[in-house]
Every structure is written in structure tokens, then in C-alpha cells.
Structure 1
Amino acid sequence: MSGLNIDSSDFVDRLKSTDRWQRSAVTAAELQLDDNAGDARLVVVVGPRARHIAELVKAMTTSCAVPIVSAESLPIFAQSGSWVFVTRSDEKTAEVVRRCAKRGIPLTTLGLSQDAIDQHLEVVGAAIVATTLLSRVGLVEDVSESLPDALHELREGVEELEARAVAAAAEVAQTIPVICGSGVRGATIAGRMKRSLNLFAKIPAFASSLEDVVSAEAAGWGQHGDITRQIISAWFIRQSLESAQADSQFKQLDEIYPEIVSGIHTVSASSAGGVIEVLELVLLVDLIAAHVALRSTVDPGFAPILDSLSE
């Protein structure tokens, strides 16, 4: 897939614009909530990309009063006392809407589109909507003040962020990135970077949590070092919620991995904590992936193989 599709020539500019996230925040502030939403003891995100949205919501918050889970269809344990977020409205989710009405479950539709790449971009806005709504009723920490400040800060620093992304994209080069992050926030961003590289740059990439690496994956590098040093690059997502143990484990990996990978690279945010850190990391890894695509003259906004796979 060589040559840029004319419809994707402004893809990076689309990524850099935080207006889409601002619109999501405004939408969430204006939505009317069900009277019973604040009494929810369980939050369920249902539909395409539900897991990714739920992960981002949990990554954006440091305190949550209720469990947040995801499912492809409405689980039987979602009853009165739950709050359901449907990722999009179509014939597949119509049954979810019907069952929620029958069970008396508050329901909010997040409005993802059909296209795979559009969905990937829209999950961030959907997570902003869900997080804002949950914070309005006290189920997660209040983001009403931190979110506008975060979006303003991102707008002001987006050019510097892109410069970092361009430099990182050059390091990806012809390697296969293996990405690792600790805790909910780190693992969520690692997964985001992997999917962005798959979708935008059309390259293989793999993500795991630090917990998986230190309990099993690190042992898997015991053989084939001559091969992996030529094709594998390691990418560590560092973030402010890391424990002292995680910091120590990353330092140990810094010593071990030079023998088995072509290079070790760190991805971190300049702003620590809360929504701003998550959004900056999302934007950074998305821009890295887009610039990897552009360096290879690959269309970052076009993934037709997924159309047939989703049918």
C-alpha cells in the first residue's frame, strides 16, 4: 500500500486538533442524565471498542466508586442498579437498548461510527464523554475543571509533541515494536500505541503489561537474540502512577534488553497525573504511528482489509 490517499493528506492535522475532544467534553456537559444514573453500582460498556473505552476511562481516573467492565453484548449480570454505555447505535446494539429498557437500566449511547480507523480515533472522545458523565454523579473523580485545562495545555504544546513524535518515528524505522506499560494507565497506552501502529503504519507491533513481562515474557528472550536484535525494538510507557517496584523493574529491563533488542525507547508525558497525562500520551503515540506511516509513504487513514474481516 504505497502512495498517500488524497483523503488522508491531512491526517496528521486531524490528529493534532483537540477540537474533537473539546466537542466531546461539551456534549457530555450538556447531556441529560437518567435520574437513577448516580445510584449505579456497576458500569458496563457494550459494543465495538467497548474494552478500549473502558480501559481509557479507568486510565483517566485515579478513583472510581464502582466497577467498570466491558462486553460485546449486554451481560446477564447487568440489571437494575447498573449503568450501560452503548458504543454505537445500530441493529446489533438495538437489542441492548431493548433489554436495558426492559430491565430499567440507564443507558447512554456514545455514537462511534462504522469505519475501523474512525472508531479508533473516536474511542478517546467516547471515553471523555463517559468519564465526564460518571464524574457528574460522583462515580469517578471530578474532571470538570481538569479537562478544559488539559485540552488547553495540549493545544498549546501540540507542535512540540509532534516534534517528539517525528523523532520517535525515526527510531521505529524498520523494526517491530514491542511495547510495555505498567498498571492500568501504562498498559492502556501501550495497547493504544500498538493498535495505532497496526492501523496507521500497517506494521506489526505487540503490547503487554509490565506485570506480564516480569512474570513470563522476559524469559522468552532467552533464545534467538541474534535475530531479535535486528528486528525488535522495545518501547517502555512511563507514567506518574508507577509504583517504586515498577520503576525498579523497568531499570532492570534497561540492563537486560540491550542484549536482545535493537534499541530501548521511553515514551512519557511532559505533564504528570490525571486526564492531561493520559490525553498527552494518547496524542503522542498516535502521532508517532502516523509519522511512521508517512515516512514509509503508507496511507495512515486507510485500512480496507479490516472491512472484509468485520463483515
Structure 2
Amino acid sequence: MSERVDTLGMWPAVNRLPEQMLDALDRTTDLPGLPNRSEITNVLVLGMGPGGFAGDLLAVTAGPFMPLPIVVVKSYQPPSYVDEQTLVFALSASGDTPEIVQAAAQAAEAGGRVVAVTGGGQLAKMANAWGAPLVEVDPMLYPPRAGLSVLTVAPMIILEQMGLFPGASQWVRFAVDQIRSRREASRASSAARARRLAGTVPLIYGGGGLGSVAARHWKNMINTSAKAPAFSAGVPDLLHNEIAGWGQHGDLTRQVFSMVVLRHDHEHPEVMRGFDIMIDLMDEVVAAVYTVEAAGEGPVAQIFDLMYQGSITALEMAAAVGLDPGPVPAVVAARQALSGRTQ
């Protein structure tokens, strides 16, 4: 077995997920300065990278239970409808994500009620200048992609405090219990799964909003931690497009691709049927099909359970070939190029 290299502490960071979630809950409870529920008609989440993913996670967990729409924006500009009735979550672990700094400034100028979740930087300075609520994230506590807990849990608890997502605190505690249970038992199964996936390109497929977001997390973690290609899609949407792309080249695809199917207890009955159809059509064009089941009480627990299993699998894939899962030099190079800097 290759020696494990982990210069940024990805393994302990991922395994601290339950404790990070409880810390986020504590940091956010009784946050002062929030607008009244009656003053808000829509919710906007601004985020890039882990912050943008946290927004997507918030939308599929809190969104179905809320009386107001949630919109996630991953860009430099907020929507033109933002006004004093818009609750704006600005999510950035560093506080210096240029897209979020610019978008948050424009949203505040338009009257949006900004709440910042950040580790400092320019975003924290702006929030303090505006007198906006601020949830502090320790940027040195973990690599941002391993610390989705604060970026996601804090907005959940804020929505609960405002009467928009009742029961969020309890859903978070259910998730903590499930991840702790999974943490005790997952190492052997994740290592075996990683060995089976090694040498193939994983296609990660999930069902509905929860499964699709979890599948994208698997993809992202395999890309960044294992430095390997992976792709994700969701049922039923892939049955309207992607499934057509597997109609030929079976001799090639069976050597290259494997499929990971993420299942959870909150799938629509037609999504369940869609999985059966998809697996029947795909079985002959991939090397193997692996099913990963979610556990835990409620949708928040189940999506975090799937995401945790994906994170550990990606770390095991890196460990199997002696890769350091933390650094992402290609991402750094791309960001430097975008900002006009060179290495």
C-alpha cells in the first residue's frame, strides 16, 4: 500500500465533519441583526466553489420546506430584482472570492439584506461596514472544500431563526448522528470501493435534487482529491439527454467507465423507476455498477451521509496511488490566470 501523503490535513478535516456542523450550529444560534420574516420575500445565495455548492445544498434541503424561493448565483452580478426584501447570503471561506465580493457589494447597494458567512477578508470588512450579520469561519480550520458544514449549516440555522425553515437545528443534529455512525464503519467499505473505481472514470448518478447535488459533490471531490476525471448527472434529467450518448462504442466504454449510483429514501416514485430503466440500459456499456445507499433521519442527514461517503472514497482513491489529496495546483493556476497573476 502506498504511503499516505496529506499535507493540508484533508483526512482529519473530512472526518471532523460532525464536529464542524455542531460548531456551525453554535456559531449561528441567536445571531443578532437578522431582518424580520415579514420583511423578506425571496432568498439569494451568492457563492463560488465550495460556497456555490453550499448554496445548491441549501436549496435542495431547505428549499422544499420554505414558503419563499431560493436562488443560487455563482457569478459577479446578483439578479436585477434584488431589493430591500431580498435576504442575501454571501458565502466565502476566504472572504476574498472576487465574484462574491463584487456581487455582495452590488446586492447591498440595491438594498439587499446581506448576511455574510466568511473567514474574513474583504467580505468581512464590508459586512462590518454595513452593520450586516456575520458568521465567522476559521479559514485555517480546514481546506474550504472539506468545510462545507459551516457554509451550509449557518444559513440553515439563520433561516430557522427567521421562521423560514422550521426544525433545521434538529435536522442538523440528525445529520451529525448519522455521520458519526458512518465514520465508525466506513473506512473498509470506502477503501474497497476506491480500489474498484481505480483505473476507471466514474459516472456518478443521483436521483432528484438531493441525489443530483450529492453526485456533483462526489465528482468534485474525485476531481480535486484524487486528481482524476469523473462526471455526474441526475435522474430523471439524464434520461432526456445523456442516456442517448451511450448508444455506441460499448467496447471502449466498458474498459473506461464505471457507474456509481447514489440512492436515498426521498426519491420520487418515478425517479425510482427511472433508475431501473437507466441501469438496464447502461449495464452493458460500463465496466461495473456500484450502488451507494444513504442512511439517517431526514433529507439533511441523508445528503450529508452520501457526501461524506464520497469524500472518503475520493481520499482513498488518492491514497491508493500515493497522491496528496489537498493541493489543487490546476485550480490555483486557473485562478491566478483569471486575476492576471503568474506563479
User: TM-score, normalised on structure 1?
Assistant: 0.90
> Partner of 1:23 in structure 2?
23
The answer (yes or no) to whether the contact 2:37–2:164 under 8 Å persists in 1 is no
Change (3 A) 1:215 1:87: same
Alignment of 1:233 onto 2:258: yes
> Partner of 1:104 in structure 2?
111
For the residue of structure 2 that corresponds to 1:277, the secondary structure is helix
Specify the code of the residue in structure 1 equivalent to 2:53. Answer: H
Specify the code of the residue in structure 1 equivalent to 2:48. Answer: P
How many aligned positions are there?
Answer: 308
> Partner of 2:78 in structure 1?
74
- Describe the superposition over 1:182-224 as per-residue Cα deviations: whole angstroms up to 9, x where unpaired: 2110100010000000000000000111123211211211110
- Describe the superposition over 1:115-149 as per-residue Cα deviations: whole angstroms up to 9, x where unpaired: 9x923223332111111111221222321223224
Change (3 A) 1:99 1:270: closer
Matches within 5 A, 1:126-205: 126-205=151-230
Q: Which range is displaced more, 178-187 or 144-153?
A: 144-153
- Describe the superposition over 1:150-194 as per-residue Cα deviations: whole angstroms up to 9, x where unpaired: 313422431212333222212211100011112110100010000
Specify the code of the residue in structure 2 equivalent to 1:59. Answer: V
- Describe the superposition over 1:88-110 as per-residue Cα deviations: whole angstroms up to 9, x where unpaired: 23383444444444433211111
Q: Distance in 2 between matches of 1:122 and 1:157?
A: 18
Change (3 A) 1:55 1:6: closer
Change (3 A) 1:22 1:76: same
For the residue of structure 2 that corresponds to 1:310, the secondary structure is helix
Runs of 5+ consecutive residues of structure 2 not aligned to the other structure? 121-138, 337-343
The answer (yes or no) to whether the contact 2:263–2:292 under 8 Å persists in 1 is yes
The answer (yes or no) to whether the contact 1:112–1:123 under 8 Å persists in 2 is no
Q: Distance in 2 between matches of 1:176 and 1:132?
A: 37
Runs of 5+ consecutive residues of structure 1 not aligned to the other structure? none
Identity %: 23
Q: Which range is displaced more, 284-293 or 270-279?
A: 270-279
For the residue of structure 1 that corresponds to 2:65, the secondary structure is coil
Specify the code of the residue in structure 1 equivalent to 2:96. Answer: D
Specify the code of the residue in structure 2 equivalent to 1:13. Answer: P
> Partner of 2:123 in structure 1?
none
> Partner of 2:57 in structure 1?
56
Change (3 A) 1:206 1:111: same
> Partner of 1:87 in structure 2?
91
Specify the code of the residue in structure 1 equivalent to 2:114. Answer: L
> Partner of 2:333 in structure 1?
308
Matches within 5 A, 1:246-285: 246-285=271-310
Q: CA deviation at 1:55?
A: 1.2
CA RMSD of aligned residues (A): 2.3
For the residue of structure 2 that corresponds to 1:79, the secondary structure is coil
> Partner of 1:14 in structure 2?
13
Specify the code of the residue in structure 1 equivalent to 2:13. Answer: R
Q: Distance in 2 between matches of 1:187 and 1:295?
A: 27
- Describe the superposition over 1:209-268 as per-residue Cα deviations: whole angstroms up to 9, x where unpaired: 112321121121111000000110011111112111111121122222221000011122
Q: Distance in 2 between matches of 1:32 and 1:219?
A: 52
